[in-house]
Every structure is written in C-alpha cells, then in structure tokens.
Amino acid sequence: IQYRANGSVDAAHGGVRFVDPAGDDPSLPTQVWTDVRPAAVRSWLPVWNHPAESMTFELRLSVPDSLSTFASGQLINEQDSDSLHRVDHWAVDIPQPADRIGFVVGTFALVEDQYVSPVGKRSMLVYGADSLAGTLIEDVFYPTPDMVGVMEKRTAVEYPFSDYKQVAVRGHSDMVGGTAGLTILSSAVMRDGRALLDDRGETTLMSGLASQWFGSWTSAADWSDMAILGGLNRMLEWAYLEEAHGIDAAREQIILTRELYFGEAATVRRPAISKSSKSDGHLAAAHSSDKAALALSQLAFVIGDETFWRAGRELLARHAQRAVALDDVRESMEQAARHPLDEYFDQWFLQPGHPEIVIEHDYDASGGIYAIRLRQVQDSSLFPTYEIDTDVELNFDSRPAYSERVRIASRDTTLTFGVSGRIAFVTVDAQKRLLADIRDRKPLWQWIAQAELDDAVAGRYGAVKTLTRAQRASEVRDALIRVAGTDSSPLVRSAALQGLAGYVSSAAVLRFALAQTVTDPAPECRRSALRLLQGSADPAAVRVVREALRDSSYGVVATAVEVLGDLSPKRFWTTVEPIARDQSWEGVVERAIAAVLETNPTASSAAYLRELMEPQRDEAVRGAALAAYRKFASLGPGWKADVKSTAQSLMSDRNPSMRKRAREVIQEL
C-alpha cells in the first residue's frame, strides 16, 4: 500500500508536528517530530493501532543535508538522494506496537555517551537539544548511564537496543514520550545549572527509559493494560531514586504520587485497570498508572520487596517480546509469592476507590495496655470492605520500637498490645505503603513526637501535615520550627515551614523565617520561608527578600519577586529592575515580575514589558507581559491608546496564541 498525505496541525489528535518549517521565526528552530501518545500514531501512519499488535518496521526519512534525524530503532545507513538531500534508513528488528514508532528531524547540538554493562556490552547513548540549549546537554543527561544500570539490575534484562537516543524538541506539550530506542522530550527538560537546583529532572528521564523494558521489551495486551505497565515503570523510577539518592528520595516521590492520586480521588474514583478503556483518554490520569504504581508498591510490602522484583524479572523473561495483561502480572507475582493473589488484584486494580480508615487510640498507661480501633468508613453501597495487610509500630521513649504485621478484614477491628515503658508515638502503616485514606485520631503529643522522631520520612511528613491542621498552640509552633530547622528531608522541612503560616504573627516564627531564607540548603525550603514573610511589617523582611533576588535558584528568585510585590509595592520596579533582564529557565522570573506589574502598573516598567513581548521570547513570557501591559490602560487616555496600538501590532504576530490574546485586549478596550 502506498499513500501520500498532506499534513495539518491538529493538537487534539496529534500526528507529525512541524516547528517553524519555513525557518523564518527567530524564536524557534526548525524541527519535525512525531506525537507519541498511544492513540496519536494513527494520525500520521495508516496502521492498525493496538498495543498487542506488534511489528518490525523501517523508516526512510528524506531530509535536507543540514538536518539530523533520529528514529526508533537503529540507523542502518545514510544515502545521498541529490546534491542537497539524503535519505536516512532506520529499522527496528524487535517487534513493536505502532505507538512505539517515532522520529525527530531538525538541527541539534549532540553529545555522545555510552553505557557499559557488567558483562562488557556497550550501548551508544545520544543526547540532543537545539543549539540554544547545547551547552546544557551534559548537565541534564549525565545520569543516563547509571539509570540504564539500575534498570538492567532490577529487570535482569539487558537494554534491548543497540543505542538509546534522548532528544528535546520545541512545542512538546507533555514532558516525555517514549518509543523503541528513542525518547522525545519537551525542551523544558533543558534546565541550566540554576534551574537544576529546583528540579534535577531525573524522573522525566527515567519515565522514557523505563518504558524500554515495560513498553518495548514487553507491550500491553490491551489499552487498559497500559496502566499496569505504567505502574511497573513507576516502580523502576522509584528503584533508581533509591539506589542513586537513598530510600528517602524514593519515598518522597511516592508521597507526591499519593497526593496526586488522593487529590483526584476527591472528585472521581475509577479502577486502575478499566476494561472499558478503548483509547488512551485517561491513561495519564492519577487513577491509572499512578494508582497502579501505588497498588504495586503496596503489593511489594505484602509479599516482600525481594519477592516482588523476582516476580518482575520472571514476568519479563516469560513475556519477552510479547504482550502482557494484568493476569500475567498476577500469575508472576503468585508464583514468586507462592500463594494466590486473585482477591488482591481484583480489589486493588479492578475495583474503583480505596479504603477510608478512621483510627482511634486508647492508652492505659497504668495497666500497660494500648488499643487501636480501625474502622473502614467508605460508603458500603459503593465500595467493598477491604482486606488490608499493614503494620503497627509502637515507639517508646527509652526502648527500641516494636513492630507487628497485621491483617484487617472487617469494617471494625480493634488491636490490643501489652506495653511496658512510656509510649512516644504509635503509627499504623509506618512506611505509608497502604493505598488508603487514613484519618488517624491519636493525641497531639504523639503527633509532635512523630514529626521529630519517626525514622520514616513518610511518617514525619504525615505528622507535620497533621500538625499544620491542628488547633493553634505554642507547642505545635515550636515543634514545627524544630522540624523545619533540623529534618534531613527537604520535603518535610518545606511542609513544616508551610505549616508555620498560621503563626506568622509570632516573633519567633519571623526570626526563624528570616534565617531560613538564607541558610536552608534546599531551594524549596527557602521559597517556603520567603512566603512566611509576606505581609510582614518588619523592615528586616524587605531586606532579606531583596537579598533573595540574587539567590542561585530561579524558583527562589521568582518567589522573592512575588513577596516583594506585597511588601514594597511602591519601590517594586526600581528594586527588581537590575535583575529583570536576566533570562531565566522557562521565564519563571520574568513571568513573576509581569504578574506583579499586572496588579501594580508602573509607568517606568513599560519598556521592559514591551521587550518581553518581542517575538524571540518564550510564549508564556510574552503572554504574561501582554496581560500586565493591558492594565496600563488604567493610567490614562494616552496609555490606553498605547496599549491598544501595541495589541494591534500583535494582530499580525506569527503565534496564534498571541493574536488571540491581542484580540481580547482590543475588544476589552
């Protein structure tokens, strides 16, 4: 079958994307790339697109000699077609689903690297980005060889292809899209040194890499099964974080995933695996791969981490270059665990919702009895009574902790423990691996002790969150200050600082916040400390915020801009002008400045906002600048005419989004 297609841009359905094909937009490089969302391939390739239907394939890309090509699989050869063009021949010899096919064409800066396996196999690694980001490539992609090593170790499967390409492109709405041997990334991953302080971007790189095993080496048996592969990939991401940065780094990422899931669960509850899924419509939602990952993490607790990974290795060996369904995952886990898991998989993967558990404590210190009552309070007409495996840990003031695994199979369960020695705090689900909404009603003194003493980062984080919601009390304030100043986890310290927002009138909190904006090594904590200064009348607060405008982190600088707009509105522009023209990653600082000027138009900043609207600037920055500039119309008739003239000049802009914004400004005026 031969066919010829004339493409058009259709962001909703994907396909082949063209970035500045005529080469006349100074703000953009010329690039062509494929949307690799599961259902998007059918928009450019006439193929039966189903995850279980795999094929070997070849691509021949005819391009000008000035452009580079990257495609799924391996480059077979390059042949000149005429004096100005060549044909690059790419092929994949491991059968792949259609959605694992993709390519990128453009002018890129490249860095070559390699991974050498423990047995000496070499895999070529190629990293690409447009020339403006070329100097950042090594800093962004340097963890890749170590990531490949962790993947091979956990899966016992060598990287499947001869090389692995990661290419950052413009206009990619998602951060990452994986194909066979090629991951297409958003240019937003190209962080400079200051932006890497805010986010190393490792989870983004891991997402594309992990899919080379659960995606290319094995594929999904149906659309709905893509969620279980996504969950397994997430488990690989967490495994890398644990090996590269320690268990707390992995647990912190799990905490964030739990918050995403429970945030969505407030409005909708779906199964992780929905057999009604016919396309990729909700596969990126928290209830699919995120819920599957959390259920898998919980399963690893139930059967043991070592057993879980052994089962994963057996799954990959048994289904090499074949499709995998949820039942295949269950069977591998059952064989490794040596007991049935059909009820577990039905309960946690195929049913909507999750348990909602209220925990009540009764401590008889004189009698040495500690009782814990656990009630499942989810709506019984919609959700079942869950069978739950978890642990209870009793921590003491002056003796080692006692931990016990327990199974809860009824809606109302009471557990009783004999204790000797004073209780410091008691936790249920100590490692926070249970996929449940837990409302623990233990006394305040236990929460304070747990926030400071729990050896599990998830436990300390949960305790800090509870103290934040507790009734205002000096002992809570002091505990949050201690945690924010001493905890080893930036996530916990930042949460404690945010919890102090209810105590900003305290002189002790103000002094602490002033110090933390300078001394805390983590940018997210310095940002949280800066927010505590918002609304402060202390002159020292303005001084510290001004100093933060020179922070090494873009995120901290952007927060300092926001806070300064509140503390010193009359002198805002004169204070930020010296740093306003320093370009930041994704324009985070420039957008923060524009947002303040939108609420506080200052005539002397008009030229700056017009600069931000120039065509070579980032689209988000240009939009923020126009939104701020439209407010200058309130300064008088002359300014209103100037704003209208500026908007009219943007009506011929190449960017349709800017034309739309300009039209709205004109209509408003």
* pLDDT at residue number 371: 97
Closest CA to 393 of 429, 437, 444, 447: 429
**pLDDT, tens digit, for every residue of 361-371?**
999 988 999 99
Tell me if 326 is assigned to some domain: yes
pLDDT of residue 280 exceeding 70, the answer is no
| Distant-in-sequence, close-in-space partners of 516: CB < 8 Å, separation ≥ 6 | 484, 485, 497, 525, 526, 529
pLDDT of residue 396 exceeding 50, the answer is yes
Sorting pLDDT into bands at 50, 70 and 90, what band is 284?
A: very low
Do 534 and 613 lie in one domain? The reply is no
Do 179 and 272 lie in one domain? The reply is no
- What is the arrangement of strands in the sheet containing 31-34, beginning at the earlier edge strand? 16-19, 31-34, 103-106, 68-71
Sorting pLDDT into bands at 50, 70 and 90, what band is 667?
A: very high
**pLDDT, tens digit, for every residue of 306-340?**
999 999 999 999 999 999 999 999 999 999 999 99
What CATH number is attached to the domain comprising 161? 3.30.2010.30
Least confident of 266-270, 548-552, 571-575, 600-604: 266-270
Structural domain ending residue among the three candidates 287, 315, 350:
350
Can you give the residue range of the structural domain that contains 306? 219-350
Tell me if 421 is assigned to some domain: no
Q: How many separate domains does the chain show?
A: 4
Do 176 and 65 lie in one domain? The reply is yes
Do 61 and 132 lie in one domain? The reply is yes
Reduced to 3 states (helix: H, G, I; strand: E, B; else coil), residue 517 is helix
pLDDT of residue 285 exceeding 90, the answer is no
Do 20 and 166 lie in one domain? The reply is yes
What CATH number is attached to the domain comprising 278? 1.10.390.10
Structural domain ending residue among the three candidates 350, 378, 394:
350
Looking at residue 383, the DSSP 8-state letter turns out to be S
Q: What is the mean pLDDT of the chain?
A: 92
Tell me if 619 is assigned to some domain: yes
Q: Distance between CA 45 and CA 111 in Å, rounded?
A: 30
Structural domain ending residue among the three candidates 526, 541, 568:
568
Do 313 and 167 lie in one domain? The reply is no
* pLDDT at residue number 541: 96
Do 141 and 230 lie in one domain? The reply is no
**pLDDT, tens digit, for every residue of 193-246?**
999 999 999 999 999 999 999 999 999 999 889 999 999 999 999 999 999 999
pLDDT of residue 171 exceeding 90, the answer is no
* pLDDT at residue number 515: 96
pLDDT of residue 283 exceeding 50, the answer is no
pLDDT of residue 490 exceeding 60, the answer is yes
Tell me if 491 is assigned to some domain: no
Do 170 and 60 lie in one domain? The reply is yes
Do 164 and 295 lie in one domain? The reply is no
pLDDT of residue 286 exceeding 60, the answer is no
The reported pTM is 0.92
Do 25 and 162 lie in one domain? The reply is yes
Do 528 and 598 lie in one domain? The reply is no
Do 511 and 552 lie in one domain? The reply is yes
| Distant-in-sequence, close-in-space partners of 416: CB < 8 Å, separation ≥ 6 | 369, 370, 371, 372
Residue percentage of the chain with pLDDT more than 90: 82
Tell me if 420 is assigned to some domain: no
pLDDT of residue 281 exceeding 70, the answer is no
Tell me if 559 is assigned to some domain: yes
Tell me if 481 is assigned to some domain: no
